[in-house]
Amino acid sequence: MAKRPNPGLQAIADRVGVSKMTVSRVLRGGGGFSAETEAKVREAADALGYVPNRLAAAFGRSGTSTLVGVCVPRLNSALFGSVLESLNATLARLGYDTMIGAHDHLPSEEEAWIRALAAWKPAAVVLTSREHSARTLSTLRDMSVPVLEMWDLRTAPIDLSVGFSHYDNGWEMARTIANAGRQRIGYIGGLAERQTMGAVRLNGFRKGLDEAGLSVFAEERLTDRPGFYSGYYATEMLLARAPKLDAIYYQDDEMAIGGQAYLTARGIRVPDDIGIAGWGGMEAASILPRRLTTTMVPTTRLGKVAAEALVSRLRDAPVQDVTVVQTRLVPGSTI
């Protein structure tokens, strides 16, 4: 079997004895041809092993692209990975192709990616960041395609928004910890300057504590990216400064599990000596000796809902601008 140049519409048209326009009509469906012609065209397309040329289609007339750009903070994250997996699978099933990017929580990276994406004239864009640079917004406007902001709810989305309120997540956990009678409460997470979702949860957390007459007693902010090990040593550092904490809220479950490991190694009992809570509902949390108090994020559903909302918009079907995907606070037994 030698390499054969892939046939185009013209090759099919020649074989059947019609014009390539008729072939185009048949293969895209929608009428304007007889059943007999359709059968012959389909047979010929199959025989020749026709592969549609999306490049040519998207290039010729805009509005026919099936390309969707998706930008997430990182690709090696359990949570975003699940969202991406589900988003991509749903888009693929509906006939769309995914171009990815990672912005690492830096608006400048997102901006560079968006500009590269614009060169491909995609049908839609999915973003997961909270803040966009002015140039990003300008590029998006020039592209004039549907934009879906995912992960956090936006009060004023550019276009579509699917997610939940990180602020409320933090608030809710604050109330849970306060109701459990904890008094000296610490926080461990990433830097606040970067407007990450974790920082938003912290704001909600502070508000919740405030309403209960409490405040964050001590906090540890890391420049390292969150993970098991950073949770481990951040806990060590925080307790060195504030030994009398009776609860710690972690930016995510991985850090909480790392923290738990440190506490266990030191003989500090959870939740007797100190309570811990995480965020995200990662699978790893399910195998701890005690079930971790955390917030479950329905990542798979989020990706699916986002993909479906986007495709609805692309097909001019009615869609809500803002779709809330509910998270769930899992009481666990570590607080």
Partner DNA sequence: CTACGTCACGTTACCGGTAACCCATGCCGC
Partner DNA sequence: GCGGCATGGGTTACCGGTAACGTGACGTAG
> Minimal distance in Å, beta carbon 236 to a copy of itself?
12
Tell me the H-state helices in 31-133.
35-48, 54-60, 78-93, 107-118
Provide the residue type at 80 as one letter.
F
Q: Residue 224: CB partners within 8 Å, gap ≥ 6? A: 230
Binding mask 32-71 for DNA (x = CB under 7 A): xxx-xx--------------xx--xx-xxx-xx-------
For residue 120, how many other CB atoms are within 10 A of its CB?
13
What minimum distance in Å lies between the beta carbon of 30 and DNA? Answer: 8
Q: How far, in Å, CA of 48 to CA of 63, rounded? A: 27
- Which of 13, 18, 41, 117 is the binder for a copy of itself (CB under 8 A)? 117
Q: Output 41 or 148, the one with its CB closest to DNA.
A: 41
By CB under 8 A, the residues from 201 to 260 that bind a copy of itself are 227-229, 231-232, 254, 257-258
143 forms part of the interface with DNA (CB under 7 A): no
Find the binder of a copy of itself among 27, 94, 99, 329 (CB under 8 A).
99
The residue type at 2: A
The binder of 316, among DNA, a copy of itself, none, by C-beta within 5 to 8 A per type, is: none
Q: Does residue 95 belong to the site contacting DNA (CB under 7 A)? A: no
Residues 6+ apart with CB under 8 A from 272: none
Contact 295, 329 (CB under 8 A): yes
Position 283 contacts a copy of itself (CB under 8 A): yes
Rounded CA-CA distance 87/24 in Å is 29
Contact 101, 113 (CB under 8 A): yes
Query: From CA 332, how far away is CA 294, in angstroms rounded?
Result: 7
Question: CB atoms < 10 A from the CB of 123, how many?
Answer: 22
- In whole angstroms, the minimum distance from the beta carbon of 46 to DNA comes to 15
Binding mask 165-204 toward a copy of itself (x if CB under 8 A, else -) reads ----------------------------------------
324 is an interface residue for a copy of itself by CB under 8 A:
no
Partner from DNA, a copy of itself, none binding residue 324, C-beta < 5-8 Å depending on class = none
Binding partner of residue 217 among DNA, a copy of itself, none, CB cut-off 5 to 8 Å per kind = none
Q: Which does 215 bind (CB under 5 to 8 A by kind): DNA, a copy of itself, none?
A: none
**b/e for 226-258, b at 16 or more Cβ within 10 A?**
bebebbbebbeebbeeeeebbbbbbbbbbbbbb
Tokens 């809902």 locate to 305
* Residue ranges in contact with DNA by CB under 7 A: 8-10, 13, 17-22, 24, 27-28, 31-34, 36-37, 52-53, 56-57, 59-61, 63-64
